[in-house]
Amino acid sequence: MASWVRRMDSRPVLPQEMPVLSMLDSYVSRAGERWHMPGHKGRRPEFGDFLHWSYDVTEIDEMLQTPNPVERSEELMARSYGADRTWYSVAGATLPVLAGMLAAFPPGATVWVDRTMHRSVFGALVLGGYQVKWLYPSLVQAGLTLPVAKAPPAWEEARGIVLTRPTYDGIAADIAPIIAACHAANGVVMVDEAHGSHWMVSPYPVSALQLGADVVAHGVHKTQDALTQTGLLHIQGHRVMADEVDRWWRVLATTSPSYLLLASLDRLQWARRQPHYAERWRAAAEAALVLREDLAAAGWVIWQAWAERQGYAADPLRLTVMGPGSAVEARVKRVGRVEKTTQDSCTFLLSPGQNFDALKEALGPAPLVPSPQALNPMPYPALETAMSIRDAWLHPGRWVPLRDAVGLVAKDALTPYPPGVPVAVAGEVLTRNIVDWLLDWHAAGRAVIQGVKPQGDDLWVWVVEA
Ligand SMILES: Cc1ncc(COP(=O)(O)O)c(C=O)c1O
């Protein structure tokens, strides 16, 4: 029987040892320009120096006013997004996704869910015990995913839909027809727009709130000037009740939110209402589109430009160049760090105020034109469901080597990262195809598989006890 207990190692304890601070010091001195999250890129924002120890308070009398300063700030943030109500999260976009879904759909309800979901959506599916109807992405290739673009074939008993938009690489489908169809069937639309909180002007994709979604989750730290772990939940219209969100928020959120994170959100709502804010984002997008063209002229194939030619919208500030990911990363290492690599691509997260020319110079001419197969459609593997996600999660389980798991029922989501889209979720029957695929990806170092445990040379997986 394998034991999964991680033992303390026996290294001596050094008097000055602070491993996390040491890592951060070394990172800051060596990383160079950050072409990755968080969106503030380690720079001090233009207003509101809130990083004082003295600002780290909790439960002070000033919060007893109605509305209290946090509620007032949330109102101002809601206005900046055109939402009816906004909640501040100090637990990233994860808390907004959880509370938004649980408030939007009664536990046990049937819901359409976009399979490009983040694990926070999976968490809500476990907690809410939902019956899931899957919408699969139209294509997954080279570790990159295109978004779900078609409305479900029928709504029947479904209470609504959960969409993830954009993909990690900033690709967004036009979801207006899906929203219209869902509303016509009296359903609720929840959009996990974790990576799109900065979309407020052209040429960015139109935001889910503007398109009429009922509940939207944002991870503002991912792209805007806000500290890591800040997020927002918005609602608009009459389909989701604020009281329901409040109830779930009380269940899921900390009772001691960090005022440093709340101050960071307050600063952001102020910044978003300044006349030059939208202009700054527009200018950054335009500069990024020039960078895209220059790179295309240097022979690079850009994933976002390719997706746009297929009719999708793309965030101008996500840049994914096709080519051997680690070789591309090595080219830019001298000047900075990238967001992610796959075997066939490398992704950069651009932000206003960054010097895009430095990135262009570091990238230089394209190393090689990617083979046409790198952009070939691959059918998304749809698996048979043996039991609901929650039932599988709660059912007794056992660990087995992944290679022996064909025909067994998964107890967790199995997610190769990148792209971070689960290939199997709890309650689904593992097939030969999926098992071989995961083993191949792992062996070739193409992805870290979340939801499995390495043990010696083997991967082990948690399955439902028969
Ligand atoms: C699509 C999506 N939704 C939700 C989240 C959760 O965000 P956070 O890490 O801020 O909790 C992420 C994180 O990467 C994400 O990519």
> Three-state SS string across 313-325, please?
EECCCEEEEECCH
Give me the chain's average pLDDT, please: 92
- Span 212-234, mean pLDDT? 97
The pLDDT of residue 174: 96
Q: Which two tokens stand for residue 253?
A: 């959120």
Q: Are 255 and 218 in contact, with CB atoms under 8 Å apart? A: no
The pLDDT of residue 379: 73
Q: Quick one: which H or E segment has residue 115?
A: none
Q: Are 58 and 247 in contact, with CB atoms under 8 Å apart? A: no
DSSP letter (8 states) at residue 426:
T
**297 Cβ contact partners less than 8 Å away, ≥ 6 residues apart:** none
DSSP letter (8 states) at residue 101:
H
Mutate to test the pocket of ligand 1, among 89, 148, 164, 192 (most ligand atoms within 8 A of CB): 192
Q: Which two tokens stand for residue 65?
A: 């006013």
Q: Which has more confidence, 456 or 461?
A: 461
pLDDT of 101 > 60? The answer is yes
Amino acid at 375: L
- How far apart CA 163 and CA 171 sit, in angstroms, is 13
Chain centroid to CA 455: how far? Answer: 28
Q: Which has more confidence, 52 or 235?
A: 235
Going from the Cα of 93 to the center of ligand 1, the distance in angstroms, rounded, reads 5
The pLDDT of residue 67: 93
Torsion sign across C-alpha atoms 209, 215, 217, 220: positive
Tens of pLDDT, residues 18-51: 999 999 999 999 889 999 999 999 988 877 777 8
- How far apart CA 414 and CA 46 sit, in angstroms, is 42
Categorize the per-residue pLDDT at 1 as very low, low, confident or very high, splitting at 50, 70 and 90: very low
Amino acid at 296: A
Place domain 389-464 in its CATH homologous superfamily.
Orn/Lys/Arg decarboxylase, C-terminal domain (3.90.100.10)
| Domain pair 53-272 / 389-464, same fold | no
Amino acid at 14: L
Tens of pLDDT, residues 273-326: 998 999 999 999 999 999 999 999 999 999 999 999 989 999 999 999 998 888
- How far apart CA 256 and CA 439 sit, in angstroms, is 43
Confirm or reject CATH 2.60.40.10 for domain 53-272, answering yes or no: no
- Return the residue whose CA atom lies nearest to atom 14 of ligand 1: 118
Going from the Cα of 221 to the center of ligand 1, the distance in angstroms, rounded, reads 10
- How far apart CA 131 and CA 190 sit, in angstroms, is 16
- Span 356-364, mean pLDDT? 95
**362 Cβ contact partners less than 8 Å away, ≥ 6 residues apart:** 331, 332, 334, 335, 336
* Residue 68: other Cβ atoms inside 10 A: 13
The pLDDT of residue 142: 66
Give the rounded percent of residues in the chain with a pLDDT score beyond 70.
Answer: 96
Return the residue matching tokens 């600063």: 267
- How far apart CA 323 and CA 301 sit, in angstroms, is 8
Q: Which has the minimum average pLDDT: 2-16, 95-109, 405-419? A: 2-16
Mutate to test the pocket of ligand 1, among 37, 40, 118, 167 (most ligand atoms within 8 A of CB): 118
Q: Quick one: which H or E segment has residue 177?
A: helix 176-184
Which atom of ligand 1 approaches the CA of 92 most closely? Answer: 10
For residue 219 and ligand 1, the question of a CB distance below 6 A is answered with yes
Going from the Cα of 131 to the center of ligand 1, the distance in angstroms, rounded, reads 22
pLDDT of 80 > 60? The answer is yes
Return the SS3 of 132: strand
Domain layout of the chain by residue ranges = 53-272, 389-464
- How far apart CA 109 and CA 341 sit, in angstroms, is 37
Categorize the per-residue pLDDT at 376 as very low, low, confident or very high, splitting at 50, 70 and 90: confident
Q: Count helices and strands (H / E) in the chain.
A: 15, 21
